[in-house]
Amino acid sequence: MTLLDLWLSHSIPMCLLLQSLVLMALCFPSASMCPKVCICQRDSHLHGFNVTCSQSRLKEIPPSLPADTVLLRLDHNQIGAVPDQAFHGLRFLRELNLSYNAVETLGEGAFSGIEATLQVLDLSHNRITSVHKDAFARLKARVIVDDNPWHCDCALQQAIGGMAHNHEAAARVLCRSSEVHDQEGRPFLAVDTDLCNLAKRTTDYAMLVTMFGWFAMVISYVVYYVRQNQEDARRHLEYLKSLPSKPKKPDEADDISTVV
User: Which 3-state string (H, E, C) describes 72-87?
Assistant: EECCCCCCCCECCCCC
**Whether residue 14 has pLDDT greater than 60:** no
Hey, where are the domains in the chain?
Answer: 31-192, 194-234
Tens-digit pLDDT profile for residues 66-96: 999 999 999 999 999 999 999 999 999 999 9
Provide the pLDDT confidence category of residue 45 given band limits of 50, 70 and 90: confident
Tens-digit pLDDT profile for residues 129-176: 999 999 988 888 999 999 999 998 888 888 887 665 666 777 788 888
Buried b (16+ CB within 10 A) or exposed e, 1-17: eeeeeebeeeeeeeeee
- Assess contact for 111 and 131: CB atoms under 8 A: no
Per the model's pLDDT, the better-predicted residue between 81 and 202 turns out to be 81
pLDDT of residue 157: 85
Per the model's pLDDT, the better-predicted residue between 185 and 41 turns out to be 41
pLDDT of residue 7: 44
Per the model's pLDDT, the better-predicted residue between 32 and 140 turns out to be 140
Provide the pLDDT confidence category of residue 6 given band limits of 50, 70 and 90: very low
Per the model's pLDDT, the better-predicted residue between 227 and 83 turns out to be 83
CA-to-CA distance for 226 and 218, rounded, in angstroms? 12
N- to C-terminal Cα separation, the chain: 155
CA-to-CA distance for 135 and 184, rounded, in angstroms? 23
Q: What percent of the chain has pLDDT over 90?
A: 39
**Whether residue 10 has pLDDT greater than 70:** no
Q: To the nearest whole number, what is the mean pLDDT of the chain?
A: 78
Bridge partners, 143 (sequence order): 121
Q: Of 135, 126, 75, whose CA–CA distance to 104 is shortest? A: 126
pLDDT of residue 223: 76
Least confident span in 36-40, 190-194, 230-234: 190-194
Q: Phi-psi region for residue 96, left (φ > 0), alpha (ψ -120 to 50) or beta?
A: beta
| Residues 6 or more apart whose Cβ sits within 8 Å of residue 204 | none
Report the CATH number of the 31-192 domain: 3.80.10.10
